[in-house]
Amino acid sequence: MNKILQRISRVVLAFFALILLFVGGMNFQRYLTEHKEVKTMVIGQVVKNPERGKMVAYTFKGKDYQSVPVANFLKNFGKVGTQIPVYVNHNHPTKIYIRKGATSLLILASALIGWAMLIILVLVCEYWFLHKLKDMAREEKQKY
């Protein structure tokens, strides 16, 4: 029973690592496509939307927008009422960034890929170590 649970947990961990790797890769690809697009800095104000939580209200080319900065899941871009600089994408004015180079996407992708690689490394080392222990036990049995 223990071996079955261990194998199931390893499969779940491997699946989770692959999902993290995939999502990290997708964010990295998005960073590569968006980091060179033309962006303009505007001053926006942090507002609270009853449906979506904290957002940034800003004016770009005479139009008013409310949006959440890209790759900012924690919504830690300031207190309500605070004015912050945001970078607006010229092609898609609803996409705003906290940093000009869209590095928040790169940071998110790096974190996800790093965690995936760490989980994979732990699984590979565990597999290697368990097989070494089995080989040592087999050699010990052959001696006696």
Predicted local confidence at residue 38, as pLDDT: 85
* Phi then psi dihedrals of residue 59, to 5 deg: -115, 130
Predicted local confidence at residue 73, as pLDDT: 62
Predicted local confidence at residue 78, as pLDDT: 76
Burial class (CB in 10 A: 0-12, 13-18, 19+), 55: buried
| Percent of the chain whose predicted confidence (pLDDT) is above 70 | 97
Predicted local confidence at residue 75, as pLDDT: 63
Q: Give strand pairing partners of 47.
A: 55
* Structure-token pair, residue 71: 């790759």
Averaged pLDDT of the chain: 87
Please tell me the distance from the alpha carbon of residue 97 to that of residue 104, in angstroms, as a whole number.
8
At 67-94, the pLDDT tens digits run: 888 877 666 777 888 898 888 988 888 8
According to DSSP, residue 81 is labeled T
Please tell me the distance from the alpha carbon of residue 78 to that of residue 76, in angstroms, as a whole number.
6
Give which of 96, 38, 35, 22 is closest to 66, Cα–Cα.
Answer: 96
Predicted local confidence at residue 18, as pLDDT: 96
Residue type at 24 in one-letter notation: G
pTM of the full structure: 0.68
